[in-house]
Structure 1
Amino acid sequence: MMGVNWNTPASDRLSLDETFIKEAYRNITGIVIVRNGKLAYENYYHKNESEQTQHVASVTKSVLSALIGIAIDKGFIKSVEQQVLDFFPEYCTDDDVKQQINIRHLLTMTVPYPYVDGHEPLDILCQQDDWVEYILNSMGEGGAIGPFKYSSAGAHLLSAILTRSTGKTALAFANEHLFQPIGIKAIPNYPMAGYGFDDLFGKNVKGWVHDPNGLSTGGWGLTMTTRDMARIGSLYINEGLWNQQRILSKAWVQESVAGNSQHYGYLWWLRDEEGLFSYAAVGDGGNVICCIPTLNTVVAISSFFMVNAPDRWLFIKEHIIPALTR
């Protein structure tokens, strides 16, 4: 089980229609495809380059999922069944629903919140002095545990749990236990100039942004190179191994991407289409790490933010998979 061989001869690489990509997917900044552990395709757009980092938005969630798995593997967290409020003993409530919510519910987005699915009020969250208290107050309100409801706030709570259990921010923990072991450069802890849109989501994002109490944002805010994205996907395709080193337990990887009726694993999107199973980390604007196990392939696509960016799965299905299988 290798990591990634970046030195594949050009003759062994895929050919894609560059003109089509630039016209139909004009906000893509980089594409890296790894097949059978070897670089199969790499190209950059808009003057981007291999060492250029990009805000990957909600791809951050899938990276955080890996960190939770590592924390469980190392014994910092007991299991996904551990209740969320175990980590916040100072938070007092007699609400039965809040008391029943566990880490698995956060990972699978099955926690109730008092908003309509798809309309999470992140603007209100970002105005709080204490994000965690705000999330704990809203967690469990508005319904029963079980139905899928997408929540970046819930992912941030996982970041807080990681810090409570390990004593390190998600950034520091990732640098030590995930990023550097698989060849991703350690990310500095940049200070935040403020907590406006540009600071948290836009042009000022660098490194891994954090909340006013220093907690790495769980739902977004991580910057990575396109190659780094492919490294994360390759770690999962190889079921947690990297150059013979065990980074994640095989059981965690399998559990994280096991197919289910919700089509969502542990902060990974699942897809089974025409007999081809894939799982993906998906970020706003078209940032994607798509893993296709039967083809032993990882497709990493970085993008700058654009409203209503064209569906990357359509591009993968209609252009990349045919190139892999012909």
Structure 2
Amino acid sequence: MSQSDSPFILPTGQNINLPKTFNYKGKNYDISEEIKDRDYTSLLVIKDGKIVFEEYYKGNKKNVPVIFFSCTKSITSLLIGISLDKGYIKDLNDPISKYVPELKGSVYSEVPIQDVLNMSSGIEWSEDMADFNSGVAKLSDSYGKGKADLIKFILSLKRAHPSGTFNKYASVETQILGMVIEGATKKPYIDFFKENLWNRIFPESTAYLSTNGDGVAMAYGGLMTTPRDYAKAVLLMINKGKNSKNQQILSEEWIKQSITISPKDTHLLPGIRKNSDTNMGYKNQWWIPENRIDNEFTAIGVYGQFAYVNPKENIIIISNGADKRYADDIDIADGRKIALIRAVAASIK
């Protein structure tokens, strides 16, 4: 995906210094050591729409795209919102099979789009990347072989819980959302993405989106772009859905719905609960941290990819990484990252 002919360059504000330490579970850690130890490759801090801190590590540069892995899921969420705003998707309570007839007869046949957005379809699933027999490993294998194998794999999935009752992170859910976008808009995911989102944030660098041999985009983790350009997409979430030219890209209603969890949806609320396999909350392909501060939310990708958003303070923090210890304990890796980023956000005057 090419850079814009008239790219929007994020303005710079008054530079900040990072705080020296952050606290995680009662213990203080040195931030500079954490950045080194956890193999950060970038840290970009934006306050009031202006860059106030930007550093790249391990030879990375601001204009070189990096893989955002599952932060791509939150981009797919934006595309679902745009599809709904434009009337391609009629109702989030519509069943998946209305837009993806190939999945009739599967466990997804009558599952509402909203439950898939919330990773709450109820399927039996493992996201263990170290297990070659896990769901995510089989998803990657079938996706790589082509569309027919991908459909066959999805048709083979089984149910573990009633839809809409249990939060279970499953990358296949986002791939299905990509199929919904294609079925609703009658356009390839990548074309709809470029026309309705990417080209309209006026990227300053070339970006890439993984596709298989059949041209099917990897909606669950295939976006490669720069932290600056990813930030421009995230800025829509705190700029009331408007881009740098004040054009409405995304509705305010979609943004509100994406970061607000009803108290009755206990499986989505952050905190320890029996109807989820994580302590973090989840809504519309965005994570809600435990002990939520203001109305914060995040996008998270494996090995240290991260986008933190605090709408009240008008702060966005993008971070990338190559954390070789990430899979040892994902909850700790993400928890430490959130703690560090919160400390950075809190230090901004």
TM band (smaller chain)? 0.7 to 0.9
1:322 aligns with 2:346: yes
CA distance in 2, matches of 1:18, 1:217: 38
Contact 1:259 1:270 in 2 (8 A): no
Q: Deviations over 1:136-167 (max 9, x none)?
A: 431x5222112001010110011111112223
Q: Which 4+ stretches in 1 moved above 4 angstroms?
A: 17-22, 116-120, 185-188
1:124 aligns with 2:134: no
Contact 2:308 2:317 in 1 (8 A): yes
Contact 1:29 1:302 in 2 (8 A): yes
Q: Which residue is 1:161 aligned to?
A: 180
How many Å apart are 1:88 and its aligned residue?
Answer: 2.8
TM-score between the two structures when normalised by the length of structure 1? 0.83
Q: Which residue is 2:201 aligned to?
A: 182
Residues matched between the structures, number? 299
- Closer/same/farther in 2, CA of residues 227 and 297 from structure 1, 3 Å limit: same
Work out which of the residue numbers 112, 115, 120 in structure 2 matches 1:102: 112
**AA matched with 2:186:** G
Q: Which residue is 1:279 aligned to?
A: 297
Q: Which residue is 1:312 aligned to?
A: 337
Work out which of the residue numbers 46, 62, 66 in structure 2 matches 1:54: 66
How many Å apart are 1:35 and its aligned residue?
Answer: 0.8
Contact 2:69 2:220 in 1 (8 A): yes
Q: Which residue is 1:32 aligned to?
A: 44
Moved more, 52-61 or 126-135: 126-135
How many Å apart are 1:267 and its aligned residue?
Answer: 0.1
Contact 1:239 1:254 in 2 (8 A): no
1:173 aligns with 2:192: yes
Question: What are the residue-to-residue correspondences of 1:79-228 with 2, within 5 Å?
Answer: 79-93=91-105, 98-116=108-126, 120-128=134-142, 129=145, 130-138=149-157, 141-145=159-163, 146-184=165-203, 207-228=208-229
CA distance in 2, matches of 1:110, 1:178: 26
Q: Secondary structure at the match of 1:277?
A: coil
How many Å apart are 1:259 and its aligned residue?
Answer: 3.2
- Closer/same/farther in 2, CA of residues 59 and 228 from structure 1, 3 Å limit: same
Work out which of the residue numbers 9, 15, 18 in structure 1 matches 2:17: 15
1:248 aligns with 2:258: no
What stretches of structure 1 of length at least 5 have no aligned partner? 189-206
How many Å apart are 1:24 and its aligned residue?
Answer: 1.1
**AA matched with 1:170:** Y
Moved more, 128-137 or 259-268: 128-137
Contact 2:182 2:189 in 1 (8 A): yes
**AA matched with 2:124:** P
Contact 1:113 1:141 in 2 (8 A): yes
Contact 2:70 2:221 in 1 (8 A): yes
CA distance in 2, matches of 1:221, 1:293: 26
**AA matched with 2:238:** I
Contact 1:292 1:298 in 2 (8 A): yes
Q: Which residue is 1:235 aligned to?
A: 236
Contact 1:132 1:157 in 2 (8 A): no
Contact 1:50 1:226 in 2 (8 A): yes
Q: Deviations over 1:142-196 (max 9, x none)?
A: 22112001010110011111112223222221111111111225867xxxxxxxx
Contact 1:171 1:187 in 2 (8 A): no
Q: Which residue is 2:313 aligned to?
A: 295
CA distance in 1, matches of 2:77, 2:258: 8
Q: Which residue is 1:193 aligned to?
A: none
CA distance in 2, matches of 1:132, 1:25: 40
**AA matched with 2:175:** H
Q: Which residue is 1:41 aligned to?
A: 53
Q: Secondary structure at the match of 1:80?
A: coil
What stretches of structure 2 of length at least 5 have no aligned partner? 1-6, 22-29, 269-280, 327-332
How many Å apart are 1:229 and its aligned residue?
Answer: 2.1
